[in-house]
């Protein structure tokens, strides 16, 4: 697993759920750039993808983020919050660039 210390690893400038979501997307994409998962018969996809794209239709830049995270089967009857059943993608250390403001 990629260890995370909430008190020291998440930059203090992250003060909304949206900023946290983008931070997570780019962090997971950065540390797992070529890892893939089987998502269907004959179908694999990268486990994390993140990018910023210009959307001409509304003249805005948007972060598009996709994750494929394995879940413990216990989530169906475990009784805990669903995110507690997420399985780790790797044991790659979080790069320092993601910890700084």
Q: In whole angstroms, what is the distance from residue 38 CA to residue 47 CA?
A: 9
Model confidence pLDDT, tens digit, residues 14-68: 999 999 999 999 999 999 999 999 999 999 999 999 999 999 999 999 999 999 9
Can you give the pTM of this predicted structure? Answer: 0.89
Please report the pLDDT score of residue 1 as a whole number: 64
Please report the pLDDT score of residue 99 as a whole number: 93
- Could you state, in order of their start, the residue ranges of all structural domains in the chain? 6-88
Residue 36: CB partners within 8 Å, gap ≥ 6?
Answer: 44, 45, 46, 47
């Amino acid at each position: 697993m990629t260890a995370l210390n909430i008190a020291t690893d998440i930059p203090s400038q992250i003060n909304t759920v949206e900023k946290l979501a983008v931070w997570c997307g780019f962090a997971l994409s950065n540390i797992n750039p070529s890892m893939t998962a089987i998502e269907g018969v004959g179908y694999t996809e990268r486990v994390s993808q993140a990018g910023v794209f210009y959307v001409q239709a509304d003249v805005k830049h948007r972060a598009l983020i996709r994750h494929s995270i394995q879940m413990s089967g216990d989530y169906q009857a475990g009784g805990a919050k669903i995110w507690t059943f997420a399985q780790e993608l790797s044991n790659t250390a979080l790069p320092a660039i993601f910890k700084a403001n």
